[in-house]
Structure 1
Amino acid sequence: MTKKLIAIDLDGTTLNSQSLISPRTAEVLNKATAAGHYVSIATGRPFRMSDHFYQQLKLETPMVNFNGGLVHKPRQTWEYEREISLSKEIAFEILAQKEALNLDFVAAENRKTFYIDTLEQFEGMFFASENVSEANLLRNLTSNPTSLLIKTKHEFAANVASSLQSQFDNEIDVRTWGGPNAILEIVPKGVQKAMAVSVIADSLKIKTKDVVAFGDEHNDLELLQYAGWGVAMKNGTEQLKGVANDVTTQNNNEDGLANYLEKYLSL
């Protein structure tokens, strides 16, 4: 049996609408690992908001965070690791336009640090971090971040994205985060999941035709196009379904990924 690299998005794909991995999904992903396949998380989330899922699934594979801005092996030295940064000046420039763009907050982060401009909109659970103090305010940002996170309201999101994209076009890509909040993520130009997953595939000597990818949102587009077999979730966007090889018959609350993968790999 050919070993597959199974690249899984988190929100709207592996996670249900409570942002949890169901016991059934965990069981199937563990079975895939036991059968000799590689299960690798490829998410827009930062590492600190996805590490608990990595540990829950008992993974030892490389993972992708920040939509491809970081590809690494958690808690290990890995020769293929890479982290791509933005200029911190972009964060300060966006912060200066906060009111004009109707932003709730502007946050900047990399694997280790997290800065946000206001604690008013701060939800500890959302940021998977309780120890945020005034010291973490954005004006203290001294290093270049891997990603910027901005929160707005759904009705402003498209306008915010196009405005920032036109202002910093040669330097950034604006991605949606998915989920109930209107979160936009700003990553360095050209950063996307497919590029990072291809680094993982190369490191594992897996051919592109043996990469299986699951996703649901615009930020999974290149990944599904790149993979030998790209699967869109039933709850995914129409655009994503248009480039996918197949679509799950069940959504992310019905273990759509697990049921599809179990059949596909004959687990």
Structure 2
Amino acid sequence: MSNKHIIFIDLDGTALYDWETMTDKTVATIKKVTSLGHIVCIATGRPYRSSKVFYDKLELRTPIINYNGALIHHPYDEHFDEISREINVNYILKVFDEIGHLIENAFCEYYENIFIYKESEDIMPLVHPDGGKIIFGEFKNTLHLNPNGFILLTYPDTYPDVEKYFMEKFAGILKFRNWGGEYQQIVEVYTPETNKGNAMQFICDYYGIPMENTIAIGDGENDVEMLKQAGFGVAMENGHPSVKEVAKFITKANTEDGVAYFLKTFFNLE
């Protein structure tokens, strides 16, 4: 089909009603879109182990973007040139040597391996532990490889100091963002090349489909690059202001099946 689209869809706050639910309406609508010959790809900050359930529910056979673009692979194509963007472990050890007193806890991930600095129930909901191998302990003793992701939990009110540190010590080397809202203490650290926009371009090249035939749907700051590069960027009503600013369309909230609403409207499904 000459007007084939690739649709990149975020999970949390976008396609998911809550932390673990995708509604039947959203599932049915996405399946209808794929039945028309369009391509749907999940683009999420989650690891593969906690996004696979939705990938399978949608019966996808496409590449999947995990860790916000730090890992791109195709579960059903062994010839797919997998992308794995990794953070130099020495940078992580340097962070703990220099500002460890500002960090309450942290975790790193490499594929399905989860390295957690301190054993604590508070951090487990962020980790998506099911299906992963957990290793507890100080990173200087446990982390001997370059991980895909690095998440810090700062002590209350120390984020400004952490932000200043990364800006001074790692400018041009590492990027970071604060999750904000109820997650003010959480800082995500990643390589400059890691973003969903770059991942989207890689998958477009894989399929030979131009960027103008892409749709990107998201709600968070980690979706901004994806929406900016897409032919048609869609923000959720519940989305961050920075996402709405770059979107061409604002759909209903995730709790109102906003993804299904947009797809039905765009593709005239009803």
State TM-score, norm by structure 2.
0.88
Percent same amino acid at aligned positions? 31
Distance 1:132 1:73 in 2: 21
> 2:87 — aligned with what?
86
Please give the secondary structure, in 2, of the residue aligned with 1:100.
helix
Which residue identity lines up with residue 105 of structure 1 in the other structure? N
Which residue identity lines up with residue 26 of structure 2 in the other structure? T
Which residue identity lines up with residue 187 of structure 1 in the other structure? Y
> 2:249 — aligned with what?
246
Counterpart check, 1:222 vs 2:225: yes
Distance 1:157 1:16 in 2: 30
Distance 2:157 2:25 in 1: 36
> 2:168 — aligned with what?
166
The answer (yes or no) to whether the contact 2:116–2:135 under 8 Å persists in 1 is: no
Which residue identity lines up with residue 89 of structure 1 in the other structure? N
The answer (yes or no) to whether the contact 2:5–2:214 under 8 Å persists in 1 is: yes
Please give the secondary structure, in 1, of the residue aligned with 2:127.
coil
Deviations 1:151-189 (A, max 9, x none): 236754455344323321122111345784343221112
The answer (yes or no) to whether the contact 1:224–1:244 under 8 Å persists in 2 is: yes
Deviations 1:169-226 (A, max 9, x none): 1221113457843432211123211111111111112111110001111111111110
Structure with the higher fraction of residues in strand conformation: 2
Please give the secondary structure, in 2, of the residue aligned with 1:184.
strand
The answer (yes or no) to whether the contact 1:43–1:64 under 8 Å persists in 2 is: yes
The answer (yes or no) to whether the contact 1:106–1:151 under 8 Å persists in 2 is: yes
Structure with the higher fraction of residues in helix conformation: 2
| C-alpha RMSD over aligned residues | 2.4
Distance 1:30 1:178 in 2: 33
- Compared CA separation, residues 98 and 7, structure 1 to 2 (3 A): same
> 2:39 — aligned with what?
38
> 2:189 — aligned with what?
186
* Unaligned segments of structure 1, at least 5 residues: none
Aligned length: 265
**Matches of residues 188-203 of structure 1 in structure 2 within 5 Å?**
188-203=191-206
Which residue identity lines up with residue 196 of structure 2 in the other structure? K
- Compared CA separation, residues 18 and 147, structure 1 to 2 (3 A): closer
State TM-score, norm by structure 1.
0.89
* Unaligned segments of structure 2, at least 5 residues: none
